[in-house]
Amino acid sequence: MDYVDSKFIGLVSSRLEKFKRVKSNLYNFRCPICGDSKKNKSKTRGYLYAVKANTNFKCHNCGASMSLNNFLKQVDPAVHKQYVLEKFKEGHTGRNFVTEEPDFKFEAPKFKKKLKLPKASEDPRPAGYLTARKLNPDNFYYAKHFKKFVNSLKQTFDDEKHDEERIIIPLYYEKNLIGLQGRSIKPNPVKYITVMLDDDAPKIYGLDNIRRDAPVYITEGPFDSTFIRNAIAMCGADANVDRWGISNRVWIYDNEPRNREIVNRISKTIDSGDSVVIWPEGIDDKDINDMVMSGLDVQSVIESNTYSGLQAKLKFTTWKKI
């Protein structure tokens, strides 16, 4: 299943009742064509699945069968038009794809906001904080007055009193600044503040820098993601990776077997069919950054301890008892 198909399955997923990802390249939901079982509302007999280079739909209740292209056309015509355009741009052709030419619409270019801030490496306070944690200060920015800076981009804070300095973690999508996170330098009960300039944009760090044809590692924080190849970070509980065409996912949670919230997240990830890292016995550090500071080869540890399915459940059961 290619990136475009995965992306548009994510976009239409909110229209599909009881939608879930069973495993890589297989999605299940109640059939929108026949409405599925009238007696049992929990029945989900509609499937989207990959067949070689194509994606097909099949309902095991009404027998409906069609390409993803025709399925989108029936379920959401507006999304279908976007799909046709994107497939056209990618150069896809064939009977299982489209016959009509897309309608091209010109939109006047919009000027995107840019970060007019010094790099964190240019000030000793943020530079010292980051280098002490083995992070590259050239990858981040520094705002001496965080609230004032944020309000210059988007009115967010009614009161700029008691302002503070923060390290700025920029969020980009298609090379446009769509949001940012402010990380406190001084001890603060609110370590991170996320501000989105576009409410519809993904709350994900590193989205522009990944290869979607390889495993994509997903961490809990931007700093952790910088130590791993082909990684992104979630910057909000409501971030949705399905929507952005990431199908080959490996989730990495903090090493806290006594944290009920993390335990529940790992359990749900395993049940969804995604891969997850289960930290091996003998590692006491809580997160990736701490592990790096302890001298661990984190990339190797992660690659050697990635599991899915029954194997993940067995490893997870052992990890919870540590």
Higher pLDDT residue, 2 or 294? 294
pLDDT of residue 173: 87
User: What is the average pLDDT score of the chain?
Assistant: 87
Contact (Cβ atoms closer than 8 angstroms) between residue 146 and residue 182:
yes
Does residue 176 have a pLDDT over 50?
A: yes
Among 59-73, 87-101, 258-272, 280-294, which stretch is predicted with the lowest mean pLDDT? 87-101
Does residue 177 have a pLDDT over 80?
A: yes
Q: Which two tokens stand for residue 270?
A: 């395993």
Does residue 99 have a pLDDT over 90?
A: no
* CA–CA dist 114, 94 (Å, integer): 41
Bridge partner list, 29 = 46
Provide the edge-to-edge strand list for the sheet that holds 249-251.
204-205, 231-234, 216-219, 249-251, 275-277, 306-307
Taking the CB of residue 251, how many other CB atoms lie within 10 A of it? 22
Does residue 81 have a pLDDT over 50?
A: yes
Relative to beta strand 176-184, strand 166-173 is antiparallel
Q: How many helices (H) and strands (E) does the chain have?
A: 10, 15
Contact (Cβ atoms closer than 8 angstroms) between residue 265 and residue 229:
no
Bridge partner list, 179 = 171, 196
pLDDT of residue 52: 78
Nearest to 46 by CA among 33, 64, 66, 29: 29
Bridge partner list, 13 = none
180: confidence class by pLDDT, cuts 50, 70, 90: very high
Contacts of 271 (CB under 8 A, 6+ apart): none
Sheet strands (E) in 118-165: 141-143
Q: What is the mean pLDDT of residues 89-105?
A: 50
pLDDT digits (tens, 9 = 90+) for 107-132: 433 445 678 899 999 999 999 999 99
* CA–CA dist 118, 164 (Å, integer): 16
Does residue 278 have a pLDDT over 90?
A: yes
Q: What is the mean pLDDT of residues 136-142?
A: 96
The pTM of the full predicted model, rounded to 2 decimals, is 0.66
Q: What is the mean pLDDT of residues 260-286?
A: 93
pLDDT of residue 83: 86
Alpha-carbon distance values, 132 to 124, 127, 141, 302 (Å): 12, 8, 16, 23
pLDDT digits (tens, 9 = 90+) for 219-256: 999 999 999 999 999 887 656 677 777 878 999 999 99
Higher pLDDT residue, 225 or 83? 225
Q: Which two tokens stand for residue 260?
A: 């009920």
* CA–CA dist 10, 103 (Å, integer): 22
* CA–CA dist 178, 210 (Å, integer): 17
Q: What is the mean pLDDT of residues 161-187?
A: 92
How much of the chain, in percent, has pLDDT values that exceed 70?
A: 91
Residue ranges and CATH numbers for the domains of the chain are 3-90 (3.90.580.10), 120-201 (no CATH), 205-320 (3.40.1360.10)
* CA–CA dist 46, 289 (Å, integer): 42
Among 16-30, 108-122, 279-293, which stretch is predicted with the lowest mean pLDDT? 108-122
- Under DSSP, the state recorded for 119 is B
Contacts of 279 (CB under 8 A, 6+ apart): 255, 301, 305, 319
Higher pLDDT residue, 11 or 225? 225
pLDDT of residue 106: 35
How much of the chain, in percent, has pLDDT values that exceed 90?
A: 52
Nearest to 240 by CA among 19, 46, 88: 19
Among 16-30, 71-85, 223-237, which stretch is predicted with the lowest mean pLDDT? 71-85
Alpha-carbon distance values, 248 to 49, 169, 217, 231 (Å): 14, 25, 9, 12
